[in-house]
Structure formats: structure tokens, C-alpha cells
Structure 1
């Protein structure tokens, strides 16, 4: 697989304002899906994590043209609870695209709750809490 320049997001980073604040970079987006993974809530948090699950698919947002500097900022944002992996995602048009994705670290799997994470509930209720909690000190752009 080639080194991706796209990033597949499935949680808080699906919100373009959060993605742009974290990476410092606007990107072209499109809906996409990642087969072979399942998205779970993280206990005590408003964001999710994914882990391999052969029978599942995760819907999300694909960001194109993510720079190395933006990836470094994403690595720092995701921290030790996630591993960045290269995968292939399917766009709504049916194209397969190489992308980076952040998978929940297997050693942290005990923090994942059963069931599916609810993106609509995050946008309605969790996003405000998330922004309060994770806004870097002194930054007003997130």
C-alpha cells in the first residue's frame, strides 16, 4: 500500500471545524466507509474508538490532501490510546482510497463500551462538552 495522503475520520474529527482546529489545515472531504471495523463509545468520553471486527463497517468522513505537518498534529491529538494505520476506504462513489485511520490501541480495549457510538447524539449534545474539554489552552479556533 502506498503512503496515504488522506485521513479517514469516524468520531469528533468528522466535524470539519474540529478537524481544521486540530490540524491547522482545511481539506476536501467526502463521505466514506471502512469495512472490517466497529465503532464503540469510549467509557466516560464523548468520542469513539474503532477496533477490528470482520463483519462490521464504519461510516465516516475522508479528508484528502492531509499534509505531514497535519498528520503530526493528529498524532499528538490522538495520543497513546490510538494507533495510526494505513487502510483502504470506499467512497460513496465506489472508489477505494488509501487512507490513514486511528484505531483504538488493543491494550486500551477495556475502555471501549459495548454498542455503537452515536454520531448524531455527539453533534446534538457531546460536541459542546468535547470542545470544552479538549480546547487547547488559549485557542479560540476550536
Structure 2
């Protein structure tokens, strides 16, 4: 079975997604309505939580297999729940996708404001890679 996965943080980077999942997947821009993205305190990555009227821009990866999803589940860990969501595509269509949503028990770790992808690329990505990419050895 093939899955779509909506990413909204570090996994929007193809190189990180490839290392985490163990495979290369095509992707397109997508938008998730009804969720807000916030920085996680003392981390370079964000989390999303349900919020009426909010939306999150991200990337939709296509054709993930069960193994890739299992690797994502392990990478995201207990803080996140894999949730099926509907995302909007640039062409106006919609698609079902798996997304990792912060569990309510961890909401105290969120910082105010929106997480900035461009800031991540400029300042946070190198730190993220150094801290988390040992995961790729799985």
C-alpha cells in the first residue's frame, strides 16, 4: 500500500526526508487547514496542533511504503500521533495524507508564534542534522 505524508518542518527538506525514510519520494507543495505550526522550545523543529482558522504550508510526499512510515513513526517518537488529514494542493485539488500532530500531553513544549522554514534553512538545519541524523543508521 502507498501513502502520502504531509510534512511541515525539517522533513520538508528532501535530503532529511530521504535519510529518515530510507527512500526518495516525489513531493509537491500542500496546505493543511485547521492546524497551527509552532516552534518546539529548545529545538530547531516545529509541531502542529489543531486550531480553527489556522493553516500550515508544507510538502506532500507521495508513494511512501509501510517501511518508510514505520521509520517516520520511530523518528517522530511518542510526542507525535500519526493522523490522517486532508490537504489542499496547489492545483486546487485535495489529497489524504498522514501527518504527525503533537499529542496534547506535550503542548507545554510549544513556543509562541509560527515556526519559520527559511530561518530553519539559514540557521537551524545544520544543528538539526548534527543532533538528529544518527537516526539514519537504522
- TM class by shorter chain equals over 0.9
Distance 1:137 1:123 in 2: 20
Query: Which residue does the alignment assign to 2:53?
Result: 55
Deviation, 1:135, is: 1.6
Structure 1 residue 138, shift from structure 2 partner: 8.2
Q: TM-score, normalised by structure 2?
A: 0.96
| Partner residue, 2:89 | 91
Structure 2: any 5+ residue segments left out of the alignment?
none
Count, aligned residues: 137
Match of 1:123 in 2: 121
Q: What TM-score results when the alignment is normalised by the length of structure 1? A: 0.93
Name segments (4+ residues, structure 1) moved above 2 Å: none
Alpha-carbon shift at residue 4 of structure 1 (Å)? 6.9
**Structure 1 gap ranges (5+):** none
CA contact (8 A) 1:4 1:98 kept: no
Q: Distance in 2 between matches of 1:13 and 1:58?
A: 14
Aligned-pair RMSD on alpha carbons?
Answer: 1.4
**How far 1:122 sits from its partner (Å)?**
0.1
Kindly indicate which of the two structures has a greater share of residues assigned to helix: 2
Give a deviation string over 1:34-88, Cα, whole Å, max 9, x none: 0000000000000000000011000000000011000000000000010000000
Q: Confirm or deny: 8 A CA contact 1:89 1:97 kept in the other structure.
A: yes
Q: 1:137 to 1:16 in 2, by over 3 A?
A: closer
